[in-house]
Amino acid sequence: MKTLTLRRPDDWHLHLRDGDVLQAVIGDTSRHFARAIIMPNLVPPVVTTTDAKAYRERILAALPAGDRFEPLMTLYLTEHTDPDDVEEGKKSGLISAVKLYPAGATTNSHGGVRDFNKAMPVLERMAKIGLPLCVHGEVTTPEVDIFDREAVFIETVLDPLRQRLPELKVTMEHVTTADGIDYIKSSKGNLAGSITTHHLIINRNAILVGGIRPHYYCLPVAKRENHRLALRAAATSGDARFFLGTDSAPHVDPLKECACGCAGIYTSVNTMSCLAHVFEDDNALDKLEAFTSLNGPAWYGLKPNEETITLEKRDEPARFPDKRDSGAGPITVFDPMFPLHWQVVEK
């Protein structure tokens, strides 16, 4: 039997939601992950350090007994965000990053930024104090095709912003295109990218071939196969600029299986099994630890975890639940469409 021991992984982009859904999903992350960057797109969003402190407390209260897990809080950037509040949040150790959602880009992003000039004072302060900006890198211009929104964002928003504020540290989250990968590779030190589990596995056919499959729909939407291959090459290369951000984004089934379904794929449950499969397929199991456990902490200025987890490859495929039940309804778990032989050895 093959085994693989890694430093305990972290998730650098995670949606935990609130209330019943938080209660149902938190254990699927804390079982394997030590820390996660927590997305602030609640309704209403987490915009001030006071909001973040209260949300952090709700997350800790929902943790299964005995689990050790550190939520790394973020603030949702608006045109009214107060630079002093952001600076205080960083100084107190509460805030790890600020999240930019272009208005209307994705789930609960209507309060996001429309006019970047209005956000400049905060962005300037972040550059000064070394607080990273996490970006959802898609334009929302109706004329731009949804499959081109990431590439157009890089050209028309991200690159001009980085030229204007070269000292700002930017995490380009959930990169889905070869354009994104190339752009990150062309940078020197102040840009990194997170990659999700599902974008390493599916291309856009998963959503559309043989019927419309809402549980493979997320934003940024999965692209063509050549883009998936570029993501795989970057993730498995060991390049320190790329790390895991699952973007695990639970929505209850009725909100996905309907005429206008929500974007988001729930991958927390089987992410480590999926990733071991992917990295083994690409003969890169020796690079998995860099992707899940080393590159992210280095980028965020944190130490890697001291604890380890062990994965075993078993003949019998792992059984994961198809759905996670929550008080708000069932949440479908990501199905990679191949059997998962790698499993985390539960302690």
106 binds, among ligand NCD, Zn ion, none (CB under 5 to 8 A by kind): ligand NCD
CB 263 within 8 A of CB 232: no
- Determine which residue in the list 81, 106, 194, 270 makes contact with ligand NCD, applying CB under 6 A: 106
Query: Does the footprint of ligand NCD cover residue 292 (CB under 6 A)?
Result: no
C-beta closer to Zn ion: residue 108 or 237: 108
With a CB cutoff of 8 Å and minimum separation 6, the contacts of 62 are: 22, 23, 26
With a CB cutoff of 8 Å and minimum separation 6, the contacts of 319 are: none
Supply 195's token pair. Answer: 């990659």
Query: Does the footprint of Zn ion cover residue 247 (CB under 5 A)?
Result: yes
C-beta closer to Zn ion: residue 165 or 219: 219
Give CA–CA dist 91/134, Å, rounded: 18
Q: Which helix (H) or strand (E) holds 4?
A: strand 2-7
* Closest C-alpha to 278, from 293, 292, 268: 292
Beta strand segments in 144-203, E: 170-172, 191-195
C-beta closer to ligand NCD: residue 127 or 139: 139
Please identify which of the residues 247, 282, 286, 325 carries the catalytic annotation: 247
Query: Does the footprint of Zn ion cover residue 10 (CB under 5 A)?
Result: no
218 binds, among Zn ion, ligand NCD, none (CB under 5 to 8 A by kind): ligand NCD
Q: How far is the CB of 334 from ligand NCD (least distance, A)?
A: 12
Supply 21's token pair. Answer: 């859904």
Give CA–CA dist 179/236, Å, rounded: 17
CB neighbour burial string for 202-214, b if at least 16 within 10 angstroms, e if fewer: bbbebbeeeeeeb
Using CB under 6 A, count the residues that bind ligand NCD. 11
Partners of 36 in beta bridges: 11, 71
x-or-dash string of contact with Zn ion, 285-324, rule CB under 5 A: ----------------------------------------
Query: Does the footprint of ligand NCD cover residue 38 (CB under 6 A)?
Result: no
Query: Does the footprint of ligand NCD cover residue 41 (CB under 6 A)?
Result: yes
* Active-site residue flag, 145: no
264 binds, among Zn ion, ligand NCD, none (CB under 5 to 8 A by kind): ligand NCD
Strands 242-244 and 191-195, by their bridges, are: parallel
Query: Does the footprint of ligand NCD cover residue 177 (CB under 6 A)?
Result: no
Binding interface with ligand NCD (CB under 6 A)? 15, 41, 106-107, 136, 218-219, 247, 249, 263-264
| Catalytic (active-site) positions | 247
